């Protein structure tokens, strides 16, 4: 595993991976979307249940990418792998995008189901805070000029966030029971049937493949960017 | 230990001295408290509902004010380099800074909190709890905040950055503190909220100095 930590080896090993993963992504999305639209209507929610196939995988990814970010930050901080740092940097905007997607589609789903665009429900609130975490991470990274220092400070923040997310989740749950939400229909899941579960899982895989494709592409871009910066510095030094 | 105490006294003197933010934070707190009725209306019933919660948020925001200079001033004039070379580990330095931040900023704010709560329609019976919650919550705010200040070392626009980094971490104490106050006003059991708030603050005291020290080391490297 650590053999791949060398950026050059990683580049060589994964040169073709984005193309392959991209094809897999497209295939999975085609299958997932087809299955989503052919799935039977929910007896309660009607056609709006199809929003679930876009929304639920996005919220899975929102959490998964944060754990990826935390893992990369750990390796970047403890073992000082520049590749792990590049991977963390590349993961953050993707995670923020998935979180935002989850929030927006959740809001669009909430309108027909709950009759409101936004409900301060425990799950929505903690996803919103997760989104703020991503923003904080990117803001910290962007505002320190020295790349290395920015990476390490942001890694500390990502790890602090990793410790804090369960606490926040707990506190929001606690807050929610305190307030006894009156209008929220609990997400009506009378134990999901297979004809809804299959498209959901396929869409979940498609999202995951999409994330890995984009992630590897942006890690490549990040490594090339660093090389270009190093070359520019060298050229400036020689001139 | 004497080194730690000296450091603590130095931080306290700096916070209280010229350019320190302790009284400024109180003034800021008073200003927000004065703006609230202007925004939501002065009807006592309405104010009584939102007042305690808004006062609690104002408290959280006020603690942010003095954070920017906490590490930055020592970073700029080289004191932080000396501290890093000295015999006291940076973790203890972070602890001293956090404690001083709490005594200099959190304590006056905790004294001001019951006053503001009273003006914003809180019941007199809730005042001791308001003070206790502000005092305990202030500990957590101070430590999490100083960690944010250490992380933002060497950044452009440090002040706003600290707010963006730290405010999501303020969710649990805001929830627990406001929850305890609300439960008290509603005649319910307020102890769990206060207990969770205490737990969060103590965990912040125990853990954030390590993150802050790592951040300082990184900034100095």
- Which value does ipTM take for this structure? 0.84
**pLDDT per 10-residue tile (average), chain B, 221 residues:** 87 77 82 86 80 85 86 89 90 93 90 87 85 93 94 83 91 89 85 92 94 92 84
Please identify among residues 108-167 of chain B the ones whose CB lies closer than 8 Å to any CB of chain A: 147, 151-157, 161, 164-165, 167
- Give the model's pLDDT for residue A184: 43
B218–A156 CB contact, under 8 Å = yes
DSSP 8-state symbol, A145: S
Nearest Cβ partner for A171 among B153, B176, B211:
B176
- pLDDT surpasses 50 at A194: yes
Nearest Cβ partner for A133 among B168, B182, B221:
B168
Residue of A nearest to B219 (CA): A149
Measured CA angle at B132 (ends B68, B142), to 5 deg: 15
Q: Does A133 touch chain B (CB under 8 A)?
A: yes
Lowest-confidence segment of A12-16, A20-24, A86-90 by average pLDDT? A12-16
Tell me the CA distances in angstroms from B168 to A120, A178, A180, B105, B180, one per residue in order.
Answer: 16, 20, 23, 21, 20
Q: Does B168 touch chain A (CB under 8 A)?
A: yes
- Give the model's pLDDT for residue A181: 52
Which percentage of chain A shows pLDDT scores above 90?
A: 39
Nearest Cβ partner for B157 among A143, A172, A174:
A143
- Give the model's pLDDT for residue A183: 43
In B71-82, which positions are buried (b, 16+ CB within 10 angstroms) versus exposed (e)? bbebbeeeebee
Residue of A nearest to B178 (CA): A175
In this prediction, residues A116-142 reach a mean pLDDT of 86
What are the tokens at A83?
């590749």
Q: Does A77 touch chain B (CB under 8 A)?
A: yes
- pLDDT surpasses 50 at A185: no
Residue whose structure tokens are 């001293």: B96
User: Within 10 A of B214 (CB to CB), how many other CB atoms are there?
Assistant: 23
Give the global pTM. Answer: 0.86
pLDDT digits (tens, 9 = 90+) for A213-233: 999 999 999 999 988 988 998
Which residues lie below 8 Å from residue B72, measured CB to CB, with a gap of 6+? B149, B153, B158
CB A71 within 8 A of CB A63: no
In this prediction, residues A21-25 reach a mean pLDDT of 92
Q: Does A92 touch chain B (CB under 8 A)?
A: no
- What confidence category does residue A131 fall into, taking pLDDT thresholds of 50, 70 and 90? very high
A168–B168 CB contact, under 8 Å = yes
CA proximity to A218, closest of A35, A21, A4, A30: A21
- Give the model's pLDDT for residue A182: 45
Phi-psi region of A33 (alpha: psi -120 to 50; beta: other; left: phi over 0): alpha
- Give the model's pLDDT for residue A93: 95
pLDDT digits (tens, 9 = 90+) for A46-100: 777 788 888 889 989 999 999 999 999 999 988 888 899 999 999 999 999 999 9
What are the tokens at A189?
């899941």
């Amino acid at each position: 595993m650590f053999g791949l930590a060398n950026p050059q080896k990683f580049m060589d090993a994964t040169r073709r991976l984005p193309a392959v993963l991209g094809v897999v992504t497209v295939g999975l999305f085609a299958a997932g979307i087809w299955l989503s639209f052919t799935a039977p209507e929910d007896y309660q929610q009607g056609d709006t249940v199809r929003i679930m196939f876009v929304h639920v995988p996005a919220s899975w990814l929102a959490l998964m990418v944060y754990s990826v970010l935390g893992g990369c930050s750990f390796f970047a901080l403890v073992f000082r792998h520049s590749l792990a740092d590049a991977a963390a940097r590349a993961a953050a905007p993707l995670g923020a995008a998935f979180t935002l997607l989850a929030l927006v589609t959740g809001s669009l789903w909430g309108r027909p189901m709950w009759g409101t665009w936004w409900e301060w429900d425990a799950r929505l609130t903690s996803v919103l805070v997760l989104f703020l975490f991503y923003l904080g991470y990117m803001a910290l990274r962007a505002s320190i000029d020295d790349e290395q220092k920015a990476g390490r400070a942001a890694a500390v923040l990502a790890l602090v966030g990793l410790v804090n997310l369960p606490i926040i989740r707990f506190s929001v749950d606690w807050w929610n029971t305190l307030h006894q939400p009156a209008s929220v229909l609990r997400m009506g899941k009378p134990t999901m049937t297979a004809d809804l579960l299959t498209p959901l899982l396929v869409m979940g895989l498609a999202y995951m493949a999409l994330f890995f494709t984009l992630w590897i592409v942006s890690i490549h871009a990040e490594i090339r960017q660093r090389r270009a910066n190093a070359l520019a510095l060298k050229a400036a030094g020689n001139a | 230990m004497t080194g730690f105490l000296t450091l603590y006294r130095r931080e306290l003197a700096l916070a209280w001295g010229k350019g320190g933010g302790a009284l400024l934070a109180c003034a800021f707190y008073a200003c927000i408290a004065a703006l609230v009725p202007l925004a939501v209306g002065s009807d006592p019933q309405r104010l009584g509902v939102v007042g305690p919660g808004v006062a609690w948020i104002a408290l959280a925001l006020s603690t942010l004010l003095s954070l920017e200079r906490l590490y930055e001033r020592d970073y700029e004039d080289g004191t932080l380099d000396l501290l890093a070379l000295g015999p006291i580990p940076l973790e203890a330095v972070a602890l001293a800074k956090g404690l001083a931040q709490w005594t200099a900023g959190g304590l006056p704010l905790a004294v001001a909190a019951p006053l503001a709560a009273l003006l914003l329609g809180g019941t007199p019976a809730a005042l001791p709890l308001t003070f206790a919650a502000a005092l305990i919550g202030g500990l957590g705010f101070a430590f999490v905040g100083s960690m944010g200040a250490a992380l933002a070392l060497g950044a452009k626009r440090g002040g706003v950055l600290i707010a963006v980094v730290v405010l999501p971490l303020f969710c649990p104490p805001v929830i627990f503190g406001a929850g305890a106050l609300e439960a008290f006003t509603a005649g319910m059991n307020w102890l769990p909220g206060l207990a969770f708030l205490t737990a969060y603050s103590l965990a912040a005291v125990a853990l954030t100095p390590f993150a802050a020290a790592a951040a300082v080391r990184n900034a100095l490297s």
